[in-house]
Amino acid sequence: MNYKTILVVDDEESICQSLKGILTDEGYRVLTVLSGEESLPIIQDELPDLVLLDIWLPGMDGIEILKLIKADNPQLPVIMMSGHGTIETAVKSTKLGAFDFIEKPLSLDKVVLIIRHALDLVRLEDENKLLRQKYPQEYELTGESRAIEDLVETISIIAPTNAWILIMGENGTGKELVARSIHRQSKRSRRPFIEVNCAAIPEDLIESELFGHEKGSFTGATQMKRGKFDLANEGTIFLDEVADMSLKAQAKILRILQEKKFERVGGTRLIETDVRVIAATNKDLEKEMEEGRFRPDLFYRLNVIPLFIPPLRERKEDIPPLVKRFVKEFSLKEGKEEKGIAPEALDFLMNHNWPGNVRELKNLIERLVILTSSDTIAVDDIPPFFKTENGRMGESVFDSDLFKTAKMEWEKKFILRKLQENNGNISKTADLIGMERSNLHRKIKSYGLEPKKE
């Protein structure tokens, strides 16, 4: 069964029933209406996968309906039907976005074949979009430590399976990167990878976000919405920070994971879903269970294959290859020559505790690539908030006072460099960096960057 939904729009009841019979036998879910006006709310509420649309209809004709469908749903394939077809009508339909034009009396075999072609084309277009969104280097794990080598080897073994995976590690260690790497190497790689930030979904919207909702199911539900589990069908769903959900939300997740079926909020139709689940957390789930904040049954459901990503401070040998990768990545992104990094600067980075892990390192390298004017990143180019009084690396870059100071130092240095590049022209500099001229002038004055008067 393929569970695709087809909407038939024809004012002849016999044609609707004939098409419904043959298409149902082919494994499709078929809806029928007798007028174009009836089809529009059905399309909005049900979001079918394909529409068979008659041209000669009472009220609004098929051409008018086609225009309205394509205005709101340009990707929805529409096959036109007519017993009074002309070449002119067929050409007009195609120009308006129809997938094909079929003359009546209908050949049911031909109808089935064209539907298959249309749905195959949509599937291929979706796959091409997914492939264009993939940047293999971005999803490659970088490192020379034994921990990363073991992790890469484990991923290569488990990725081709359908096993569910629980990824554990501190913030910034690369849990999403690991999840995407697993998906990219899996048999589902051509299907969607849908991320759910469990910590960011409000309690009252969790069902709508995960399962979708029908039009009018609650205040503000002006149209039907597909949920994350619906969108991830045949692909992978990534439940990020799964331990940050409330117990009530955890119960809802557990139910769909057990039954693999759900109903949209306000709906009655049971929708089946086939997803691979990868969950991630930065918390100690055993402790969370002991203190009653995480459901043990959900833990055992998710924890089929556990993966742990150690923090960067425990694998310092990964810092040099990560720095090299990030320098190359951001130099290319900014259209700059790839910079080198002085040994002293690299040693300095090796001594930092990296509380923000790989994410913190990546953000720092991006700043250094943008702000360092020379060909080589030196120790002096590293922002002041990384340094303590004795010149060692600080424990955290997230201290509020340090961060304010660092931000001001960074902004001052950035503005000064841009002013120098534009020979002190404030208007030109403001346009270049996207800032109001008056605002830039105030900052120049506050940072003491105004030229001194003789």
Please, what CATH class does the domain formed by 147-310 belong to? alpha beta
Q: Place domain 5-132 in its CATH homologous superfamily.
A: Response regulator (3.40.50.2300)
How, if at all, do strands 276-281 and 305-308 pair? unpaired
β-strand pairing of 261-262 with 271-272: antiparallel
- Beta strands across the sheet bearing 236-240: 193-197, 236-240, 276-281, 165-168, 305-308
| Distance of alpha carbon 51 from alpha carbon 31, whole angstroms | 10
Place of tokens 């205005």: 71
What pLDDT is recorded for position 85?
64
- List, in sequence order, every residue forming a beta bridge with 240; answer none if it has no partner: 197
Domain boundaries, the chain: 5-132, 147-310, 312-398, 400-454
With pLDDT > 90 as the criterion, what percentage of the chain qualifies? Answer: 50
The pLDDT assigned to 395 comes to 44
Distance of alpha carbon 367 from alpha carbon 18, whole angstroms = 65
Position 195 pLDDT exceeds 70: yes
Residue whose C-alpha is closest to residue 251's, from 281, 305, 210, 219: 210
CA angle 387, 388, 389 (to 5 degrees): 125
Question: Span 381-405, mean pLDDT?
Answer: 54
Residue 412 has pLDDT above 90, yes or no: no
In whole angstroms, give the CA distance from residue 213 to residue 336.
Answer: 47
pLDDT at 128 (0 to 100): 67
At 320-364, the pLDDT tens digits run 999 999 999 999 888 888 999 999 999 999 988 899 999 999 999
* pLDDT value of position 145: 93
Under the banding of pLDDT at 50, 70 and 90, the label for residue 219 is confident
Containing 208, the helix (H) or strand (E) segment is helix 206-211
The pLDDT confidence band at residue 285, using thresholds 50, 70 and 90, is very high
Provide the pLDDT confidence category of residue 405 given band limits of 50, 70 and 90.
low
Same fold, 5-132 and 400-454: no
- Split at pLDDT 50, 70, 90, the class of 214 is confident
Give the mean model confidence (pLDDT) for residues 98-122: 91
Q: Domain 400-454 falls in which CATH fold?
A: Arc Repressor Mutant, subunit A (1.10.10)
Q: Please tell me the predicted confidence (pLDDT) of residue 280.
A: 97
Class of domain 312-398: mainly alpha
Contacts for 123-131: CB closer than 8 Å, 24+ residues apart: 125/75, 127/190, 127/191, 130/190, 130/191, 130/192, 130/193, 131/190
Q: What percent of the chain has pLDDT over 70?
A: 90
Structure-token pair, residue 402: 């340090």
Give the model's pLDDT for residue 383: 82
- Average pLDDT value for the chain: 86
Predicted confidence band of residue 400 (pLDDT cuts 50, 70, 90): very low
Average pLDDT over residues 379-406: 57
Q: What is the pLDDT of residues 144-159, one digit of tens each?
A: 999 999 999 999 999 9
261: pLDDT strictly greater than 90:
no
Judge whether residue 133 has pLDDT over 90: no
